[in-house]
Amino acid sequence: MKNFASLWLVVLVYTSTFAQGIFPDRVTIPKMSTVTKNALPNKTEGMMVYDSDLKQFSYWTGTLWANFGSTAASGTGWQLIGNDLSTTNTGNVGVGISVPTRGKFEVFGALGNGPTSAVFGSDGTGLSLQRNWPTIGFNQYRDGSNIQRRIGEGYAATQFFDPTTGAMFINTFNYGSSNSTSSFSIPTGVFTLLSNGNIGVRNGGSSTTGMWITRGAANTTGSLVVSGTTHNSHFHFDVAEDTYIRAGKNNSRVVLNDIPGGNVVMGAGNGKFGINSGNPQYTLEIKQAANNTGLVLINNTNFNNWELKSDVYST
């Protein structure tokens, strides 16, 4: 009878333990979805469940659900909540450095033997941050062997700074496929800002020139076009690279060197000057429209004048 009572007690203890989900060689934790977990009432600090959506164990900190591997209970570590990873730490975050002091997020080092420290949006045409000659790569990065590549398919560009001269450069590159290295040797567009404020367009700029513009073979309307209300001025227009300086609208003026003692120099010994003539054949060629005044010389003192017209001389 005594042995029977002992056996019965063992059976009761084992059955009770089995019913609670505790086994001699394992522990069963309640399993549920994220929605069910978040809706649990009367949660107490330390409560633990298995989130079947996240495939992770979660525990209640007293204010939120945290996953194992974080220090969310302290409120300052990394927390994985759903698919979001975050931290409320008021300190700095470092990658490759144990004591980050230069910013809230500091990356020490780069990819392989290249300069790329970070890439954002690599699932499309993203951008990169590169060290040494500090560079922002637009759909461009340098791999571990320091070779330029596109992040995604499309055009690419770089903006970089030369710390040895203080110059800033912007380069653009032709269309290419994702991760390709083609067309990086010759940029299609260049903008340079020197440390003294001088600017170069399609060139490296000049320390003695405020703005230096290189025309470029494809720029048939000129190396520079200045637009007015009605008319534009073109520098180095078309194949002949003629220059047209125009007033901005009809009946406006083009004024040259209107200063005391100002001179206007034209030609270099064999040039020709045409008025109403697009292709002068003489040193001074004036084409007079019908019934218009020809060449008039005015005396600055008494304003007497003489006029030279076709077949007519008058005073």
CB atoms within 10 A of CB 152: 16
Q: Mark whether 200 and 278 lie in a shared domain.
A: no
Q: Which residues touch 190 (CB under 8 Å, ≥6 apart)?
A: 169, 170, 171, 200, 201, 202, 203, 204
Q: Which residues of the chain, if any, have pLDDT below 70?
A: 1-25, 69-77, 291-294, 303, 305, 307-315
Looking at the 3D structure of the chain, how many domains does it have? 4
CB atoms within 10 A of CB 3: 7
Q: Mark whether 304 and 198 lie in a shared domain.
A: no
Q: Mark whether 97 and 194 lie in a shared domain.
A: yes
Both tokens of 105, joined, read 């997020």
Q: Is 7 within the bounds of a domain?
A: no
Pair 29, 23: CB distance under 8 Å = no
Q: Is 308 within the bounds of a domain?
A: yes
Q: Mark whether 77 and 116 lie in a shared domain.
A: no
Provide the pLDDT for residue 167.
96
SS3 172: strand
Helix, strand, coil percentages in the chain from 3-state DSSP, rounded to 5 = 10, 35, 55
Provide the pLDDT for residue 55.
80
Question: Looking at the chain, how many residues does it have?
Answer: 315
Provide the pLDDT for residue 74.
46
Q: Is 229 within the bounds of a domain?
A: yes
Q: Mark whether 102 and 209 lie in a shared domain.
A: yes
Q: Mark whether 127 and 234 lie in a shared domain.
A: no
Greatest CA separation found in the chain? 155
Question: How far, in Å, are 38, 43, 59, 203, 310 from residue 63 at the CA level?
Answer: 12, 9, 10, 60, 101
Q: Mark whether 119 and 207 lie in a shared domain.
A: yes
Both tokens of 88, joined, read 């409320």
According to DSSP, the residues that pair with 171 across neighbouring strands are: 158, 190
Q: Mark whether 182 and 122 lie in a shared domain.
A: yes
Q: Is 45 within the bounds of a domain?
A: yes
The residue among 247, 240, 202, 200 whose CA lies nearest residue 220 is 240
Q: What is the DSSP string of 248-294?
A: SSTT-------STT------SSS--EEES-SS--SSEEEPPPTT---
Q: Is 13 within the bounds of a domain?
A: no
CA neighbours closer than 13 Å in the CB half-sphere of residue 34: 12
Q: Mark whether 185 and 144 lie in a shared domain.
A: yes
Q: Mark whether 255 and 298 lie in a shared domain.
A: no
SS3 51: strand
- Domain with 203 in it: 93-213
Question: How far, in Å, are 14, 25, 32, 56, 224 from residue 17 at the CA level?
Answer: 5, 12, 22, 25, 88
Q: Is 14 within the bounds of a domain?
A: no
Q: Is 17 within the bounds of a domain?
A: no
pLDDT digits over 95-109, tens only?
Answer: 999 889 999 999 999
Q: Is 39 within the bounds of a domain?
A: yes
Residue 255 CA to residue 238 CA, distance in Å, equals: 25
Pair 89, 96: CB distance under 8 Å = no
Q: Mark whether 111 and 174 lie in a shared domain.
A: yes
Phi and psi at 226, nearest 5°, equal -115, 120
Q: Mark whether 290 and 231 lie in a shared domain.
A: no
